[in-house]
Amino acid sequence: MVSATEPRLYCVPARPEADDADERFNPPDGAPPGPWTRANAYRWCERMAATHYENFPVASKFLPAHLRPHIAAIYAFARTADDFADEPRFEGRRREALDTWEQLLEACYHRDVQHPVFLALRDTVRRHDIPIGPLKALLTAFRMDLTKHRYTSFRELLHYCSHSANPVGQLVLFVHGHRDPALHRFSDEICSALQIANFLQDLSVDVPRGRIYLPEEDILHFGVSHDDLLAGRATTEFQELMRFSVSRVRSMFHRGRPLIRKVSPGLSMELDATWRGGMAVLQRIEDLDFRTLDFRPTLEKRDMAGIAVRSLFSFGRRLWRGEA
């Protein structure tokens, strides 16, 4: 049952209860106007989680059934906002869509909003006492995507990850009742590693669009020519830069790995599969001799199935040893 207690507002600006302006907007994502019930709103979010390709499991069978809809609601919020910043169909109205999305987010912390994502999200944040900060941080990252396409240093790239990736892990931990700051620090390592692994995986897509997520300091250090990079030439210098980058991200994954054994069993298996998926992407890049400027390596269904089996086996072994 949802608690009758109103959720904390976490510095959300007060909005008059009679002001329904946010509900008069045309949904920026094109969602049908409803009317929506909580049940079919969750189904909308779950379909989105099931039909989008990701390198990691989203609301998988590893998680307790009663928590999967809540993870799907968070995913739907983030996935849609990401599309605003990235998908061609939103060209010319990206910032407006993100601004509307933020207004709807703030509104849902005060009352029901007739939009499937926010009707489900409101229920999720109320049930799990989730602060608005991580959700707003995601929108900050998507706004950064509109104007910032290069990063001077690795530190600057990590700052971006602290808005684009780390809040996702924090939100998942909140849903599972984990609020220990130490666990959130481990999660930040894994989430940033996943984000940067995705950048390395997507070079053939991002570089032609003018988005270079390889830090300028690293490009300079390894002597990579911008002309070669933009032309998609995998020179020896580029391969060495990639070898270094993959090694650095692997270290981040290993620093975050202790989280897997410190959380509830279902989340532990989900995190293990996520961790293995990220490591598998790095291995795929390495297997291609780091030639990712003209080819995007992906994980196939059989790869994901193998990851799931290994995660189940690993969890079963820990359970047998009394570690889980």
269 vs 18, more confident: 269
pLDDT tens digit string along 157-185? 999 999 999 999 999 999 999 999 999 99
pTM listed for this prediction: 0.84
Could you give all domains of the chain from N- to C-terminal order, each with its CATH number?
A: 35-147 (1.10.600.10), 153-324 (1.10.600.10)
State the DSSP code for 68.
Answer: H
Look up residue 213 and give its two tokens.
């997520």
Q: What is the pLDDT of residue 33?
A: 83
Question: What is the sign of the dihedral through the CA atoms of 311, 314, 320 and 324?
Answer: negative
What percent of the chain lies above the pLDDT cut of 90? 72
pLDDT of residue 15: 41
Please indicate whether residue 51 or residue 241 has the higher confidence score (pLDDT). Answer: 241
Q: How confident is the model at residue 305 (pLDDT cuts 50, 70, 90)?
A: low
Backbone angles phi, psi at 63, to 5 degrees: -80, 150
For residue range 198-225, list pLDDT tens digits in order: 999 999 999 999 999 999 999 999 999 9
Backbone conformation region of residue 240, classed left if phi is above 0, alpha if psi is from -120 to 50, else beta: alpha
Distance (Å, whole) CA 148 – CA 129:
33
Q: What is the pLDDT of residues 264-292, one digit of tens each?
A: 888 888 899 899 999 999 999 999 999 99
Position 225 scores a pLDDT of 96
Q: Quick check: 95 and 146 in contact, CB under 8 A?
A: yes
